[in-house]
A and B are shown apart, each in its own frame.
Chain A
Amino acid sequence: MEKMSAVKRAILCAACIALCYALPMAFHAFGAGSVFLPMHIPVFICGLTCGWPYGLLCGIAGPAISSALTNMPPVAMLPTMVVELAVYGVVSGILMQIVRTKRLYVDLYISLVVAILAGRVLAGMARALIFAAGSYSMAAWVSGYLVTSWPGTLIQLLFIPSLVYALMQARLIPQRYPKTKTGDRKV
């Protein structure tokens, strides 16, 4: 499989946007709820597999559509959420393009971890600017973005790279480092 066509990227992005709505519903149905941050996962996957422009769109449109359809997240929470998710999509996409260590999992983890950090920092800043200029303290950010979200972060770190790998195994996205004809395999 060569590089993905623009149409394919676009439609994969559409599927991820739809999952931004469907996954939280599924998680909700069995009580896992929002502690696992289900809406974040499709955005990371979209950024990592389709590239930053699609990651950006998924980060904006995913929460926005969900919000328009169910008011979850409530429209009032939307701006900071959009900032956070859009940064995830963009940063993970750009890093996947730049970082090429010849090892898939190393590339994935670098992109993912930097994206997670960047998203949370920028969202904290956005929240401070929008809701409470000057008063939004470090402690509130730490509590909101690091402490209460650790189960979700854990899921993201454990699960997202192996999911990308599974998508490659299933030949749904191209191999990042295709094995050469001589048979030596690089993962």
Chain B
Amino acid sequence: MGSIAGKQITFAYGYDDAPTLNGVDISVKPGQLVAILGRNGCGKSTLVRHFNALLALQEGELSVAGIDVRDEAELWRLRRTVGMVFQNPDNQFVSSLVGEDVAFGLENYQVPRSEIPGKVSAALEMVGLAGFEERSPHLLSGGQKQRAALAGVLALEPEILVLDEATAMLDPVGRREILAAAMDLRMRGTTVIMITHIVEEAIPADLVFLMNEGKMIAAGTPEEVLTVPELLEQAGLAPPLPVRLYHDLRTAGIALEHCPLTAEALAEELCRLK
């Protein structure tokens, strides 16, 4: 159920000489909320596309939800187990009606016609779009589009959900909507993998992976990874504002007890000093 175990995953695209992934290890337990952080081009999207065998494993070992991704007989079960939402909300719809689009995945797995409408409306309700079946995706806001795309994935009841930079093109409101939906799913026991370069989005995660140039350079809890500016800078990312302030205050001779991750924690730490 919902676990991921990968060892020494290495991958190179045909047009590139340097490998995009270079000996990556990853291990995720069922039900965890996981953030994979890294700048553009670090290989994070390439990595997750191995989880549902969109990319064929070239070297290394990878088993997802107990399925070996090399096992071609299990390909379709694997794809049903791992749902994926992508970056561009406009490029995920197959139909001009939200309801038909959410049904797309179900039809691919030959779910009987009679069961489809129920599953579609349940999935739409889960993302807060109940009753949107007859709407056109083009007339929705960015956040609504991404939630409709999410519904299309959730209708298949995946054990693992991958959000491949699903918030990158949204405005702050849309971004919050998608993050809230991700939290909600994790509460229901789904393993959620978030790919992002926004460090703040990784704060609520159970586990953070940090990637750079095709390598996994750190793995741990947010407290372990996000509080080390050197590590984040090595990956081309900036630490969250409270962490930055914590370290700058220390340089100025003011030592806080704990390194805070959120603004609230920061405020509390500072008050304790006063």
Q: Which residues of A contact B (CB under 8 A)?
A: 1-2, 171, 175, 178, 181
Interface presence of B253 (CB below 8 A)? no
- Distance of A181 Cα from B17 Cα, bound (Å): 8
A180 to B17, CA, bound (A): 11
A178 to B14, CA, bound (A): 9
What residues make up the interface of B, taking CB atoms closer than 8 Å to A? 13-15, 17
> 6 more A-B contacts (CB under 8 A) besides A2-B14, A178-B14, A181-B17?
A1-B13, A1-B14, A1-B15, A171-B15, A175-B15, A178-B15
Interface of A, secondary structure class, is loop
Complex interface: chain B residues within 8 A of A2 (CB): 14
A residues less than 8 Å from B13 (CB atoms) = 1
Residue with the greatest number of chain A CB neighbours at <10 A, chosen from B13, B14, B17? B14
Ordered by A's residue number, 5 sampled pairs between the chains whose C-beta atoms are within 8 Å are A1-B14, A2-B14, A171-B15, A178-B14, A181-B17
CB of B2 to closest CB in A, whole Å: 27
Per the bound structure, the CA–CA distance linking A2 and B13 in Å amounts to: 10
Rounded to whole angstroms, the CA-CA distance of A15 and B202 in the bound complex is 36
Interchain nearest-CB distance for B56 vs A (Å): 10
Quick one: closest A residue to B56, CB to CB? A2
Question: How many whole Å from A143's CB to the nearest CB in chain B?
Answer: 40
| CA–CA, A175 and B13, complex, Å | 13
Distance in angstroms between the alpha carbons of A26 and B17 in the assembled complex: 40
Among all A-B residue pairs, the 5 with the closest Cβ atoms: A1-B14, A171-B15, A1-B15, A2-B14, A178-B14
A2 to B55, CA, bound (A): 12
What residues on A are CB-neighbors of B14 within 8 Å?
1-2, 178
Instruction: List chain B residues, Cβ under 8 A from A175.
Output: 15
Inter-chain contacts of B17 with A (CB < 8 A): 181
Measured CA separation A12–B190 after assembly (Å): 33
How long is the Cα–Cα vector from A181 to B12 in the complex, in angstroms?
13
CA distance A181 to B13 in the complex (A): 13
